[in-house]
């Protein structure tokens, strides 16, 4: 059996209620016309009675029409209220769409969520890389500054060493001039007690003939010490080493 919706039933009932007063009014009008016709055709008292009866019938028909109109209006109001109540309720036979709060996400939502998480991870990784890059740049800048400082320090040290070497050379030059002006015997007495390194530097700068006269006046130990030192100096110079790097002879002290 096919179900009729509530709205359709209410509409049909309203139409039926509206037709009923019309039918009652039509029947009363027919009855009135019939009574008038009978009264016109009958003579005398019958005619008066028929007129009274027709008037009474007309009054009854009017009352019936008024009562029917009131009932129709009341029925229409009730039907409208019922329809309004039925409108607020879900229609029969229709499924209600219920959205559950704990419903599992769809595939698209899951993919979007994963993409968003991946995007966050990539952004974080990018920030970390930028921070590391900035740290590396700062470290490189500090290293470059340190290298520049070391280079400047090296230049100052080299300049100082060169200046000291020049001063030492000038001092030894003065010593050579002084010992050459001395008598060989006096110079030999000083050379016997002189530090080996200083003695080698002074002897290397003196004239060989003058130095030979001084060595002949030195003690045998002093002459031997000077000869060995000069030979070691020549050997070290061939190897590219400085006199300061030569091993010292026991009993001697470095120059101050």
- Let me know: does 193 contact 252? Beta carbons within 8 Å: no
Residue 177 lies in a domain: no
Residue 187 lies in a domain: yes
Mean pLDDT across the chain: 74
What is the share, in percent, of the chain residues with pLDDT greater than 90?
Answer: 27
Range of the structural domain that residue 117 is part of: 113-166
Q: Is 90 exceeded by the pLDDT of residue 142?
A: yes
CB-based burial, 100-110: b 16+ in 10 Å, e otherwise? eeeeeeeeeee
Residues 193 and 252 in one domain: yes
Please write the tens of the pLDDT for every residue from 208-222. Answer: 898 899 999 999 998
Domain total in the chain: 3
Residue 158 lies in a domain: yes
Please write the tens of the pLDDT for every residue from 11-52. Answer: 554 555 566 677 777 788 888 777 767 665 555 444 454 555
Q: Which residue in 157, 141, 155, 169 sits closest to 243, CA to CA?
A: 169
Residue 192 lies in a domain: yes
pTM over 0.85: no
Residue 252 lies in a domain: yes
Query: Alpha-carbon distance 147 to 174, whole Å?
Result: 40
**pLDDT band with cut points at 50, 70 and 90 for residue 75:** low
All residues at 6 or more sequence positions from 124 whose CB lies less than 8 Å from its CB, including other chains: none
């Amino acid at each position: 059996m096919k179900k009729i919706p509530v709205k359709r039933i209410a509409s049909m009932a309203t139409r039926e209620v509206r037709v009923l007063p019309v039918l009652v009014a039509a029947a009363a009008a027919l009855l009135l016309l019939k009574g008038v016709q009978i009264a016109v055709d009958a003579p005398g008292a019958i005619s008066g009675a028929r007129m009274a009866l027709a008037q009474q019938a007309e009054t009854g028909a009017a009352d019936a029409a008024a009562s029917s109109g009131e009932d129709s209006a009341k029925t229409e109001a009730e039907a409208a209220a019922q329809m309004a109540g039925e409108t607020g309720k879900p229609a029969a036979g229709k499924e209600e769409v219920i959205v559950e709060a704990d419903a599992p996400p769809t595939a698209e939502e899951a993919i979007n969520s994963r993409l968003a998480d991946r995007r966050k991870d990539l952004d974080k990784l990018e920030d970390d890389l930028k921070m590391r890059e900035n740290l590396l740049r700062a470290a490189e800048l500090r290293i470059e500054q340190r290298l520049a400082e070391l280079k400047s320090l090296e230049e100052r040290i080299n300049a100082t060493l060169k200046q000291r070497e020049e001063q030492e050379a000038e001092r030894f030059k003065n010593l050579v001039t002084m010992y050459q002006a001395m008598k060989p015997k006096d110079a030999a007495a000083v050379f016997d007690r002189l530090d080996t390194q200083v003695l080698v530097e002074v002897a290397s700068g003196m004239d060989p003939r003058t130095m030979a006269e001084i060595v002949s006046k030195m003690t045998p130990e002093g002459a031997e010490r000077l000869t060995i030192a000069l030979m070691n100096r020549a050997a070290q110079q061939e190897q590219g080493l400085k006199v300061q790097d030569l091993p010292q002879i026991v009993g001697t002290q470095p120059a101050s």
